[in-house]
Amino acid sequence: MTRSRALTLARIVLAVLVLVAVGYALAGSWGSVQRDLAAVPIAALALSALFALVGLVFTLIGWRVLLADLGSPLHLAPASGVLFVGQLGKYLPGSVWTVVAQTEVAARLGVPRRRSAVVGLLSVVMSALAGLAVGAVALPGLLAAGGAPAYLLLLVLLPLGMILMHPRALNWLIAKALRLARREPLEHPLSGRAVVRTSVAFVLAWLSLGLHLWVLVRALGGNPSATFVPAVFGYALAAAVGMLALVLPAGLGLRELVLVLLLAGQLPRSATLAVVLLSRFIVTLGDVVSAAVGWGYARSHRLLNTSRVT
């Protein structure tokens, strides 16, 4: 067995083990969780889903800024056909499927593969850093709730990441990575303005996604002021940590664990589990709906046919 196949198999096994662990945790209190799920008003579900979709829109805006700055401006419609279809790749075990899918679809629009690959990888890194920056507000609450001291390492990763996001350092890293991959360099460096605008868009995306969780927490009786930080900022922290766990598809399990710790004491255990389950469902549904819209555009404009762009 090759190393790549062994690694893929290990990731699949780990994902299955996580699912089994989550299922076991739910089994003992499923009756209560089910009642809490049924208690969430339809209006709250709709508002939560709206915030989740708005978060995706801000993500699209940030991604488009990077791509346009490097020379491939795309209208919102074709951009959605690239980003949202490709984002479904994060649900596969592995760490590059999202970028691979985006690169292939973008090639049908005349975007050089190396350019879309750089933007895809860079947007993932910048999004994770933005999530850590937003989520740092909730880190003290996580540690107080029994979170492992290892989470303090995030305070080291964050400033280091911010330093590497300086345009000079960032463009040096991009050029170095392309040389190592034996690819031609980019036509021109990424501008500082694009980095700032993308970072702002990603921060707004995380805040919107955090609000989707807060709506659910409030719907199940959480105190609005007491739960604002662990829900809104805590979601960004939990999801960013999940993004860093490359072996888990879409941070499966790890995001939920962090959220349970953050919300401990704010809601009964069954309500907390209900919120976490609903959050995962709503975010996944948002990804699927946005991918369906993007796929519809891509399909109608023949972006899914074979083509070669270097």
Name residue 267's beta-bridge partners. 264
Which of 33-37, 69-73, 226-230 has the lowest average pLDDT? 33-37
CB 229 within 8 A of CB 138: yes
Flag whether pLDDT at 8 surpasses 60.
Answer: no
The better pLDDT of the pair 146, 226 is held by: 226
Report the pLDDT value the prediction gives residue 60, as an integer from 0 to 100. Answer: 94
Distances in Å between the Cα of 234 and the Cα atoms of 28, 35, 102, 132 are 26, 25, 29, 10
Which of 42-51, 116-125, 180-189 has the lowest average pLDDT? 180-189
Q: Is the dihedral of CA 263, 269, 272, 277 positive or negative?
A: positive
Which of 64-78, 83-97, 180-194, 251-265 has the lowest average pLDDT? 83-97
d(Cα 176, Cα 206) in Å, to the nearest integer? 30
Report the pLDDT value the prediction gives residue 234, as an integer from 0 to 100. Answer: 93
CB 220 within 8 A of CB 269: no
Mean of pLDDT values over 85-111:
77
Residue type, 202: F
Flag whether pLDDT at 19 surpasses 70.
Answer: no
How large a percentage of the chain has pLDDT more than 90?
31
For the segment 66-77, what is each residue's pLDDT rounded down to a tens digit? 999 998 898 888
Report the pLDDT value the prediction gives residue 204, as an integer from 0 to 100. Answer: 98
Residue type, 307: S
Name residue 264's beta-bridge partners. 267
Report the pLDDT value the prediction gives residue 250, as an integer from 0 to 100. Answer: 55
pTM above 0.85, yes or no: no
Report the pLDDT value the prediction gives residue 17, as an integer from 0 to 100. Answer: 53
Q: Which residues contact 189 (CB under 8 A, 6 or more apart)?
A: 167, 171, 174
DSSP 84-152: HHHHGGGGSSSSSHHHHHHHHHHHTTT--HHHHHHHHHHHHHHHHHHHHHHHGGGHHHHHHTT--GGGG
The better pLDDT of the pair 16, 167 is held by: 167
Confidence label for 157 from pLDDT (cuts 50, 70 and 90): confident
d(Cα 211, Cα 233) in Å, to the nearest integer? 9
Report the pLDDT value the prediction gives residue 177, as an integer from 0 to 100. Answer: 87
What average pLDDT does the chain have? 81
